[in-house]
Structures are given as structure tokens and as C-alpha cells.
């Protein structure tokens, strides 16, 4: 059996802006990492692991 909990939040304008920014960054990173995984798999036939993906983050945070 699976259970789920739904939570509603009611952010103010400042919090909503910050939340939108954070979610945008997460969405961008997910798509970037997905493209890296797809390109690597096509080139080598092997998937990237989480550790390999995490190595890209410090470089991207500086940008």
C-alpha cells in the first residue's frame, strides 16, 4: 500500500519569487543532466552515475 501526504503552502510575494527561482534552477539542472546522460550513453553505451554528475555542479555554480 502506498500513502501520500499533500501539503499546501501559502508563500508571500518574496517567498514565491525565491521559490520560483529555486524551482527554475532545479528544472534547468535536471534538463542539463538529462542531456549529459543521453549524450554520454549515445557516445559510450554507458550511463553516467550520480557522482559523475555531481562533479559538474561546482563549475556550473560559478557561471
Say what the pLDDT of residue 57 is: 86
The answer to whether residue 36 sits within a structural domain is: yes
The answer to whether residue 46 sits within a structural domain is: yes
The answer to whether residue 34 sits within a structural domain is: yes
The answer to whether residue 54 sits within a structural domain is: yes
Give me the number of domains the chain comprises: 1
User: Sign (positive/negative) of CA torsion 21, 23, 29, 32?
Assistant: negative
Domain that holds residue 35: 29-63
The answer to whether residue 23 sits within a structural domain is: no
Tens-place pLDDT, residues 33-58: 999 999 999 999 999 999 999 888 88
Tens-place pLDDT, residues 3-40: 999 999 999 999 999 999 999 999 999 999 999 999 99
Q: What are phi and psi of 20, to 5 degrees?
A: -65, -40
Which residues touch 32 (CB under 8 Å, ≥6 apart)?
56, 60
Amino acid at each position: 500500500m502506498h500513502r501520500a501526504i499533500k501539503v499546501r503552502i501559502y508563500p508571500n510575494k518574496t517567498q514565491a519569487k525565491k521559490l520560483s527561482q529555486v524551482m527554475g534552477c532545479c528544472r534547468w539542472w535536471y534538463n542539463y543532466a538529462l542531456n549529459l546522460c543521453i549524450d554520454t550513453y549515445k557516445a559510450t553505451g554507458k550511463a553516467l552515475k550520480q557522482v559523475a554528475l555531481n562533479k559538474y555542479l561546482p563549475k556550473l555554480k560559478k557561471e
